[in-house]
Amino acid sequence: MNKFDDFKNLLKEDRSIRRFDSSRRVSTDILEKLVELTRYCSSGRNLQPLRYRCVCSEEECREVFPLLAWAGYLTDWPGPEESERPVAYLIQCLDLSLAKDCLCDDGLQLQAITLGARALELGCCILKAFSPQKVADALGIDITKYMPRYVVAVGYPVEKVEIEEMLSDDYKYYRTADHVHHVPKRALSELLIH
C-alpha cells in the first residue's frame, strides 16, 4: 500500500472512542509521546501557544471523569461505566501569556494526538462539553495562566465504531442493539461545491 492509503486507513480507524478497558493503564511516557507530536503541527504566527497537562493517575482520572459530558446524542446513555472509563486524559490549555486565541492550532494538534494514539492501538475522545474552571480547579491548573480548551480522553478501546454513509442528512451517531457505535459521514459529492 502507498503512503496515502496508509494515512487514509489510519484516519478511518481514528474514531471517537467512549468505552475503554479501564484495567489497562496508560503511562505518562505515552502521553508525553503524544504531546511531542504536536511540536510538528503547523501553528498560526508560529506562536505555538498550546500546553498540555497529562493526567494518568487513578486519583486524578476520578476527579476529571464526572466533569465531562459524553455522547450528547445518546440520550439514554449516561457515559462509560466504571470498568470502561478512560485511563488517562490530556488537557489542552492555551497559554494566555502568549495569546488570547489560537486560530486553528487546537484542532490541528488534537488530530495529531488522536492519530498518533490510534497508531499506538489506543483510542481517544475529544471533549468540549466541560467547564474549564471546574477542570482547572480539579487539577490545580491556574486558569489565569492556562485556559483549558479541550480534554482528550485516552485508553485502550473496547468498543466497535463503524463509519456509515449519511442518508437524508441524518448526522447523529447512534448505537445498535449489538452495542456497535455508528457514525454517519457525508458523501464526497456533498462536500464539493460546484
Ligand X SMILES: Cc1cc2nc3c(=O)[nH]c(=O)nc-3n(C[C@H](O)[C@H](O)[C@H](O)COP(=O)(O)O)c2cc1C
Q: And the C-alpha cell for 29?
A: 511516557
In single-letter form, the type of residue at position 19 comes to: R
- Which lies closer to ligand X via its Cβ, residue 65 or residue 70? 70
* Closest CB to ligand X among residues 71, 154: 71
- Position with the least CB separation from ligand X: 129
Stretch that binds ligand X, among 2-10, 35-43, 68-76, 81-89 (CB under 6 A): 68-76
- CA dist., res. 161 & res. 4, Å (int): 22
What's the chain's Rg over C-alpha atoms? Answer: 17
Kindly state the smallest distance separating residue 82's Cβ from ligand X, in Å.
Answer: 17
Q: Which of residues 109-138 bind ligand X (CB under 6 A)?
A: 125-129
Number of C-beta neighbours around residue 166 at 10 A: 15
Q: Interface with ligand X includes 70 (CB under 6 A)?
A: yes
Least distance from ligand X to the Cβ atom of residue 181, Å: 8
- Strand 50-55 vs strand 88-95: parallel, antiparallel, or unpaired? antiparallel
Total residues contacting ligand X by CB under 6 A comes to: 14
Chosen residue from 173, 174, 175, 182 binding ligand X by CB under 6 A: 173
Backbone angles phi, psi at 160, to 5 degrees: -100, 130
| DSSP β-ladder status, 181-185 and 161-165 | parallel
* Other residues' Cβ atoms within 10 Å of the Cβ of residue 56: 19
Cell of 65: 471523569
Smallest gap from residue 177 Cβ to ligand X (A): 20
By CB under 6 A, residue 11 contacts ligand X: no
**Smallest separation (angstroms) from ligand X to the CB of 173:** 5
Question: What is the C-alpha separation between 14 and 114, in angstroms, rounded?
Answer: 7
Residues forming beta bridges with residue 165, ordered by sequence position: 185
Nearer to ligand X, 131 or 145 (CB): 131
Does 183 participate in binding ligand X (rule CB under 6 A)? Answer: yes
Q: Which residues bind ligand X (CB under 6 A)?
A: 15-16, 18, 69-71, 125-129, 161, 173, 183
